[in-house]
A and B are shown apart, each in its own frame.
Chain A
Amino acid sequence: MKPLLVLVVAAAAMPLLLPGEFYLAIATQVLVYGLFAVSVNLIAGYCGMVSLGHAAFLGISGYAFALLSVGAGWPIWAATTAALGLTSLTGAMFGLVALRTSGLSFLMITLALGQIVWGIAFRYVDLTNGENGISLPRPDGVLLHGTGLYYLCLAVTAGCMLFVTVLTRSPLGAAMQGVRDQPRRMSTLGYDVWAIRYVSYVLSALLAAASGILYMLTFRFISPHALSLTVSSEAVLMVIAGGLGTTFGPLLGAALVVLLKNVASAYTDRWPTLLGLIFLFIIVVVPEGLLPGARRLLGALKARVVAPDNIGANLTRASRIEGARQ
């Protein structure tokens, strides 16, 4: 629990630790994209379904929030509830279509659904203002300053991560992981594989919707770019880079991508190449993702430090977890 405590304290003290508003804005972005990656991880990591259309949920939620709060003048809480509800409903409908398939076909169907939503955002100019996008006016109250926004994003993201952790340790979560590893056996055992997948897909859409509202509050501007395939695939990359099916992996992956995009690009024009090289490095050296990979490497290092005949007795906690997973 100790590293977790350090992490929580560090996250809470972040506005004090960072030397300026700009860095806090970057930290806030890490949380927003981190939550989005967590939503992708819920279905990809725990339920074995990789989606390439998840930006659609982020976008629907963001657009709904913007249109209802600016266009229709709803109060923030009402717009938030409606955006979450609408996106979950869309997720429930998309799930009916997408979950007729699995594996590669699921990937393609979600890609198609994502592109449909992108097309609507792009073409339905009367509603979405097309490529010119929708701006959110400056909020008042606690969100006026970067610190307030940071803590809001921290609270929501941490809450959602806690929710995912509790979920994955519940019987439903165990069933999800069972469906991921052995769908046929789960079916034989009497589990309704489709229903388990469906529930996790809709829950994942709900989490993506939450990240969409945070996105809107952070960037205060949404255009079809936010729903593009790039955003969807970046989230998948974040999850894979950080560690598929881990609690903090998506957040780590999001931090990696956001920092590279924003910090590395200040030093080199070739940052997309750098991003590609880093992903290549991850795939070659730690194919299971940074977080589990680091644990494995640390475990191997420790095992080498202690005497060889003591290895069995000195199995680190991390490698025991690794063992239990396999």
Chain B
Amino acid sequence: MISRRQLVAGAGAVLALPSARAIAQAGPIRIGMLTVKSGALAAGGRQMEDGFRLFLSERANRIAGREVAFMVADTGGQPALAKTRAQELVQRAGVHVVVGPVAAFEALAINDYLQEAGVPFLCASAAAEDLTQRRINPWFVRTSSTSAQPCHPLGEYVARDLGYKRVVTIADDFAFGQEQTAGFQRAFVASGGTVVRKLWSPLNVADYGSYIAQIGEPDAVFAAFAGANGLRFLRQYAEYGLKQKIPIIGAMTTVDEGVLHSMGDEALGIVSAGWYSAALPGDANRRFVTELRKETGVDPGFYSAGAYSAGLALENALQNIDGKVEDKQAFMAALRKVEIADDPRGPWRLDSYGNPIQNIYIRKTERKGGRLVNTVVKTYENVSQFWTYNAEAFLSAPVYSRNDPTKL
């Protein structure tokens, strides 16, 4: 049982907290990262952390002349836990900015909370369309892309440059896969192609055989998978002997560098689109790839590149306000105006919705120097999340899903 004296002491400690926090203001810039260290999404979470840690170590743990205190919280890939972890970072650790999380549903679960708390939210991975479209949070900016952003140019490229007219799509049956497929479908159909059939496989499906059997005989197959699913699908696709007959068009994460190193010949020749490739020319990227390979032994992909860019964005914004991260309004305003010229992925800037306008690269998987790489074959410059469409018209339509734009 707690005595009255202890109770009074406890209450005193509670009252003393705000002043302790005020003293800490002159301390380091506190950056909190929400990542996933356990469960199915752990691989992406680890790569994201690697990318950001590389940025910090390159800067000797200082941004804009100030020390950085970096803390990492594990969400377990569960929305409810992500919310608690975000609360922990904000209320207990008092972070100035939250970086992360991996999955769209985590970002959506904490978006409202961070908006109310008025905490800058620098999203390095989660690609949910609506975060920078229909559910705008003024405290939110993103350094990756929307799900469909690379898929719009890919749709056009497949119809016009590759000349495929009939395509079957297959994707992970969750928001990310659905939005990627919808974006591809919209641009592909607009360029004269036909989507014959859309197949959806559950995230944790054990066997792709029954889905591969439904593909039929189209000109090509569009495959949008995340994590290790791309690896398993491509392997089985090759085993079924379809690889030589029907070419695969991949979304960015299907042949992401994060899993590409585990793949073999089944990945050769796949054409995909993304805002990054480890094989990009340019000094910034060469340095980034070399340094990250030293740390992890493999090429950086979606998650590492997105997190590294988040570091660059932070640096850019903080330098513009002399490191005064405590002035939240000024910091956020600077963050929304971020323009990076020497990012490993190439130049990018944020649109007025907080999503990057960036180059989209059409890539072809090849074997070079004994390892698989995504060689860039064509560049679409300065692609926005709305592609060539009018932003207002785009936003008045429902968000991309299984049945939008067209049910099949």
Q: With an 8 A cutoff between CB atoms, is B297 at the interface?
A: no
Cα distance A314–B84 in the bound complex, in angstroms: 47
Residues of A bordering B, CB below 8 Å: 6, 10, 13, 16-17, 19-22, 25-26, 29, 125, 130-133, 135, 137-138, 219-221, 223, 225-226, 230, 261-262, 265-266, 269-272
A265: contacting residue among B76, B116, B130, CB under 8 A: B76
Residues of A within 8 A of B116 (CB): 138
Contact, CB under 8 Å: B175 / A130: yes
| Chain A min CB distance to B46 (Å) | 10
Identify the closest chain A residue to B110 (Cβ). Answer: A221
Contact, CB under 8 Å: B17 / A138: no
Contact, CB under 8 Å: A17 / B7: yes
Contact, CB under 8 Å: A131 / B104: yes
| Chain A min CB distance to B399 (Å) | 8
| Chain A min CB distance to B216 (Å) | 24
| Chain A min CB distance to B351 (Å) | 21
Contact, CB under 8 Å: A265 / B74: yes
Contact, CB under 8 Å: B79 / A225: yes
Q: With an 8 A cutoff between CB atoms, is B376 at the interface?
A: no
User: Mind listing 28 A-B residue pairs with CB under 8 Å?
Assistant: A6-B1, A17-B2, A19-B10, A19-B13, A20-B14, A20-B91, A20-B92, A22-B87, A22-B92, A25-B87, A25-B91, A125-B401, A131-B174, A133-B108, A135-B111, A219-B79, A221-B83, A221-B112, A223-B108, A225-B105, A226-B79, A226-B80, A262-B84, A262-B85, A265-B85, A269-B38, A272-B38, A272-B76
Cα distance A135–B74 in the bound complex, in angstroms: 22
A131: contacting residue among B87, B105, B403, CB under 8 A: B105
Interface string of B382-404 (1 = CB under 8 A from A): 00000000000000000101110
Cα distance A131–B173 in the bound complex, in angstroms: 10
Residues of A within 8 A of B406 (CB): none
Cα distance A266–B34 in the bound complex, in angstroms: 11
**Taking A26-B84, A133-B79 as contacts, is the C-beta distance between A138 and B14 under 8 angstroms?**
no
Residues of B within 8 A of A26 (CB): 84
7 extra interchain contacts, Cβ-Cβ under 8 A, other than A133-B105, A225-B79, A265-B76?
A13-B7, A21-B87, A132-B104, A138-B112, A219-B109, A261-B81, A265-B73
Residues of B within 8 A of A130 (CB): 175, 178, 401
**Taking A16-B11, A20-B17, A25-B84 as contacts, is the C-beta distance between A261 and B76 under 8 angstroms?**
yes
| Chain B min CB distance to A273 (Å) | 9
Residues of B within 8 A of A271 (CB): 38, 74
Contact, CB under 8 Å: B175 / A131: yes
Q: How many A-B residue pairs have CB under 8 A?
A: 102
Q: Which 5 residue pairs of A and B lie closest in terms of their CB atoms, listed nearest first?
A: A22-B91, A131-B175, A22-B92, A269-B37, A221-B109
Interface of B is mostly: helix
Residues of A within 8 A of B91 (CB): 20-22, 25
| Chain A min CB distance to B126 (Å) | 11
- List residues 98-123 of chain B with CB under 8 A from any CB of chain A: 104-105, 108-109, 111-113, 116
Interface string of B70-99 (1 = CB under 8 A from A): 000110101111011101100110000000
Residues of B within 8 A of A230 (CB): 78
Residues of B within 8 A of A272 (CB): 38-39, 76
For B39, B88, B111, which residue has the most chain A Cβ atoms within 10 angstroms? B88
Cα distance A210–B80 in the bound complex, in angstroms: 18
Cα distance A17–B8 in the bound complex, in angstroms: 9
Residues of A within 8 A of B54 (CB): none
Cα distance A271–B88 in the bound complex, in angstroms: 17
- List residues 169-209 of chain B with CB under 8 A from any CB of chain A: 174-175, 178
Identify the closest chain B residue to A136 (Cβ). Answer: B112
**Taking A6-B1, A26-B84 as contacts, is the C-beta distance between A132 and B79 under 8 angstroms?**
no
Q: With an 8 A cutoff between CB atoms, is B128 at the interface?
A: yes
A266: contacting residue among B17, B80, B88, CB under 8 A: B88
Contact, CB under 8 Å: A223 / B105: yes
Contact, CB under 8 Å: A133 / B14: no
B14: contacting residue among A19, A132, A135, A269, CB under 8 A: A19
Residues of A within 8 A of B174 (CB): 131
Cα distance A138–B137 in the bound complex, in angstroms: 14
For B11, B80, B401, B402, which residue has the most chain A Cβ atoms within 10 angstroms? B80
Identify the closest chain A residue to B202 (Cβ). Answer: A122
Contact, CB under 8 Å: A220 / B88: no
Residues of A within 8 A of B401 (CB): 125, 130
Contact, CB under 8 Å: A221 / B108: yes
Identify the closest chain A residue to B90 (Cβ). Answer: A22
Contact, CB under 8 Å: A219 / B38: no
Identify the closest chain B residue to A33 (Cβ). Answer: B80
Identify the closest chain A residue to B13 (Cβ). Answer: A19
| Chain B min CB distance to A182 (Å) | 39
Residues of A within 8 A of B84 (CB): 25-26, 29, 261-262
Cα distance A270–B39 in the bound complex, in angstroms: 11
Cα distance A265–B42 in the bound complex, in angstroms: 14
Cα distance A220–B91 in the bound complex, in angstroms: 17
- List residues 1-59 of chain B with CB under 8 A from any CB of chain A: 1-2, 7, 10-11, 13-14, 17, 37-39
Residues of A within 8 A of B175 (CB): 130-132
Residues of B within 8 A of A219 (CB): 79-80, 83, 109
Cα distance A160–B314 in the bound complex, in angstroms: 48
